[in-house]
Structure 1
Amino acid sequence: MTTTIDNPRPRLAATDATDGGVAARRRTAGLALLALATGAFAIGTTEFVSMGLLPQLASGVGVDIPTAGHVISAYAVGVVVGAPVLAVLGARLPRRGLLLALMGVILLGNALTSIAPSYGALMGARFVSGLPHGAFFGVAALVAADLVAPHRRAQAVSLVMTGLTVATLLGVPAATWLGQGLGWRAAYGLVVALAALTLVLLALLVPRVPADRGASGRTELRALKEPQVLLTALAGAIGFGGMFAIYTYIAPTVTEVAGQREGMVPVYLLSFGVGSVLGTLVGGRLADWSILRSTVLGAAAMGVLLAAYAVTSQWLVPGMLTVFLISASGGVFTIGLQMRLIQVAGKARTLGAALNHSALNAANALGAWLGGLTVAGGLGYPSTAWVGVGLSLLGLVVLGVSVTLQRRTTLAAATA
């Protein structure tokens, strides 16, 4: 059974029976997806580069490393706050114009980061940088889905999200290398350049896309009253926390549990990044087959593999392979989650799509915090994997409640 997504307005391209018309539409869609993926690449770079430059950030603004770590939290808070707020405020704006405005804020936030004279200014700049994150991905997902045929919507969204995962492979290492060589401010200068490039590509390659018919801030806010929207977002905020429970502590796990030298940590991270890219692409195809089944499959596989990682983390190759598979299953889960939020949000598609990234950033904080508790309690780094198993199972339970409630509502409506 294939799940479809209701679209409150007609598709952008009319049906054209000629081969030339089909090819032209595909080229237009492909170039637009490239522009959107470039924006995702820029956002992924700025989101994760701070983690690799914490010592330089701390030295640059005169604080210790743990205190400098709060700039990462400031960005995450910006994402959680900005996704619903900007989605509501921008609901009636044309999609391309909204994307340009959001990328402009990203450019501004990173420019302010690159010139921040103090710790307080740096915190504020990172908060501003995070504000457009979720809304940009949400609107980009809607535009991508509307550019293609219904049976390819999830694949189109996954191609945009691939920009984020490729950033972990290329953008973050390049920005980190630049920041270490020329100073941490240069890393955010690179993001400014990427944001500027994205603005040009969006203006040139993304077609004019009107807002959904009847869209308004009030309509978007109604999504927050919908149990399906809230339960789906909660499933992501809890279930994906298992991924971050191990990812946050992967470096000490490699060196202290597997007994490897520090030089192997980037190899593990590379394995994680490749798995994420592959899982995101596969997740698009699976979600076009069935949104619900692919979401459940990704969450269940992640839970099983996290349990395996509690054992395999003590060995180099098995541990690396398990990390690869965990990341791939996480990619499948997040694409399914993104598409389900768009589906259950109804007419509030902008907010529904944006909430996915609020949920994932909440998962980041939850997984890192709970994993840290077990490590601090003396249970060792492999215990973070069991935290991940628990979170994955709990996420599946929440998703199960969502599906059960949805089916009961559908049955009641059919028999009324």
Structure 2
Amino acid sequence: MLAIGTFAVGTDAFVIAGVLPSIASSLRVSLAAAGQMVTIFSLAYALSAPITGALSAAWYRRTALTAGLLLLVVGNILTAIAPTFGLALASRVVAAIGAGLYTGTASATAAALAGPERRGQAIAIVVLGMTLSLVLGAPLGTAISTIWNWRVTLCAVAGVGGLAGATVFARIPALREVAGIGLSARLAPLRDRHVMRMLLRALLVFIGIFIPYTYISAIYARATTADPRLLSGLLLCFGVASTVSNLVAGRLSDRWGPRRVLVAGSLGLVAVFANMPWMSASPMPALLAAFLAGLFSFSQTTPQQHWMLSQAPRGTQSVVTSLYQATLYLGVSLSGAIGAYFMQRVGPHFLSWLAAAFVLLSLLPIASSRDA
């Protein structure tokens, strides 16, 4: 049931990129200006998630989850009815705050309900909603926009969020982490060097993962020039592989421990990124490269959360997962800027080598962290 909420959050985050031309035309702004809706959402998410995680740590999980989805629904409805671009931007902040509150709480709740022995599988189910939003939610939202308009798309996202909120309120038990915990204790993860080291690790690996994904059209331009429809196939391969990998990584984390899964997945990513300049030049190798990139990229998400939750100070699981989600969105934002800087100097075809370097760097914090 928690996966329905992450599906709504993921669709909300990913679908905007697909309807930007319609938004720009409707609100009478440039495409570049409309693109700031994506940027403002990511920044608001990254900045608000740790704050809402700390403030809501002593709440009942059901209350925090429902509040997050309510803000998501309100934010999307406000965007759908916004008469001006300024109001549309402001409404994206509201949706981002709700998304950050829900997603961080959802992972911690799933892990608590499942217990330590099935923590990886439980987190993987929550993340499944996000991967399905990549494969199904965003394309369906774009199709709805084509048939009707972008405002209907955002109303549909609000509808899914409302359904998820009602389900969570009805089905999640009234549990909380630690009753009466003070704000200083909730912020303990910020003073825990092991947690901060793993957040640094997450930031480095997410920058590496999202540099090739952000500039996928440029990296694979040689393969897609003859048939532009191939780009959709590349995205589909990445999305399908991501969905499968997430579920498998959850089970392997419970069986072997998250450290082994993270190291194996990182080395796989380095190998794929190292060969991507050649694999991206023709259609069939390009499809294989996209599939392998998705496979190894989403071998990181669930084990990383699994490990961090196992190291979180008592009563701070929601705060830790919120910090993790904020780090993810910060990595996405930085990957775009770093990738653009590098691409202007050496071109797009060797961007994957830069990504491989970041993934390699992400292995250093693992080597000096506590076992899990």
**TM-score with structure 1 setting the length:** 0.85
* Stretch moving more, 199-208 or 46-55: 199-208
How far apart are the structure 2 equivalents of 1:260 and 1:327?
A: 24
Give the structure 2 partner of residue 354 of structure 1. 322
Shift in CA distance, 397/270, structure 1 to aligned 2, threshold 3 Å: same
SS in 1 for 2:299: helix
- Equivalent in the alignment of 1:174: 140
Q: Which residue of 2 aligns with 1:248?
A: 214
Gaps of 5+ in 1: 1-34, 408-416
Name the CA distance, whole Å, in 2 between partners of 1:45 and 1:292.
Answer: 30
Which residue is equivalent to 1:262? 228
Aligned to 2:260: 293
Partner Cα distance (1:384, 1:57) in 2: 30
Aligned to 2:155: 189
Match of 1:310 among 277, 293, 302: 277
- Indicate the residue corresponding to 1:218 in structure 2: 184
Structure 1 Cα separation of the partners of residues 220 and 147 of structure 2:
26
CA distance in 2, matches of 1:279, 1:216: 38
Match of 1:322 in 2: 289
> Is contact 1:220-1:349 (8 Å) kept?
no
- Deviations along 1:36-92, one digit per CA (max 9) or x if unpaired, are 000011001000001111111111221111121111010101111121000011011
| Residues in 2 aligned to 1:92 and 1:260: alpha-carbon distance in whole angstroms | 56
The answer to whether residue 237 in structure 2 is matched with residue 237 in structure 1 is no
- 1:273 corresponds in structure 2 to 239
Contact 1:91 1:220 in 2 (8 A): yes
Equivalent residue letter for 2:5: G
Q: Deviations over 1:297-344 (max 9, x none)?
A: 222221221112122011211111121111121111111111122122
Q: 1:57 and 2:18 equivalent?
A: no
**Structure index of larger Rg:** 1
Alignment of 1:107-146 (within 5 A): 107-146=73-112
The RMSD of aligned alpha carbons is 1.6
Contact 1:109 1:126 in 2 (8 A): yes
Aligned-partner SS, 1:381: coil
Q: CA deviation at 1:212?
A: 2.6
Q: What amino acid is the match of 2:321?
A: A
Give the drift of 1:396. 1.5
The 8 Å contact of residues 230 and 283 in structure 2, kept in 1 or not, is answered as no
- Which letter does structure 2 place at the counterpart of 1:375? M
Find the counterpart in structure 1 of residue 332 from structure 2: 364
Match of residue 21 from structure 1: none
Picking from 42, 53, 57, the partner of 1:87 is 53
Q: Indicate yes or no: 2:343 matched with 1:375.
A: yes
Q: Distance in 2 between matches of 1:128 and 1:307?
A: 40
Q: For the structure 1 residues 350 and 396, does the alpha-carbon distance in structure 2 shift closer, same or farther, using more than 3 Å as the test? A: same
Between the two proteins, what is the percent identity of the paired residues?
28
Kindly tell me the number of residue pairs found equivalent between the two proteins.
369
Q: Distance in 2 between matches of 1:260 and 1:151?
A: 50
Quote the Cα distance in structure 1 between the aligned partners of 2:263 and 2:183: 31
C-alpha offsets along residues 267-304 of structure 1, whole Å, 9 cap, x if unaligned? Answer: 11000100110111011012112022212222222122
CA distance in 2, matches of 1:179, 1:400: 47
Query: Could you say which residue in structure 2 is the equivalent of 1:334?
Result: 301
With 145-154 and 157-166 compared, the bigger mean Cα shift is at 145-154
Q: Structure 2 length as normaliser, TM-score?
A: 0.95
Letter in 1 for 2:150: W
User: Does residue 355 of structure 2 align to residue 388 of structure 1?
Assistant: yes
Paired with 2:152 and 2:35, the residues of 1 have a C-alpha distance of 19
CA distance in 2, matches of 1:187, 1:204: 26
Name which of structure 1's ranges 288-297 and 81-90 shifts more when overlaid on structure 2: 288-297
Q: What is the alpha-carbon distance in structure 2 between the residues aligned to residue 212 and residue 339 of structure 1?
A: 20
Note the alpha carbon deviations across 1:97-149, whole angstroms, 9 max, x for none.
11111111111111111111212111111122111323322211122122224
Stretch of structure 1 that moved more, 298-307 or 383-392: 298-307
Q: Contact 1:232/1:399 (CA < 8 Å) preserved in 2? A: yes
Structure 1: distance between partners of 2:337 and 2:310: 31
Per the alignment, residue 106 of structure 1 pairs with 72
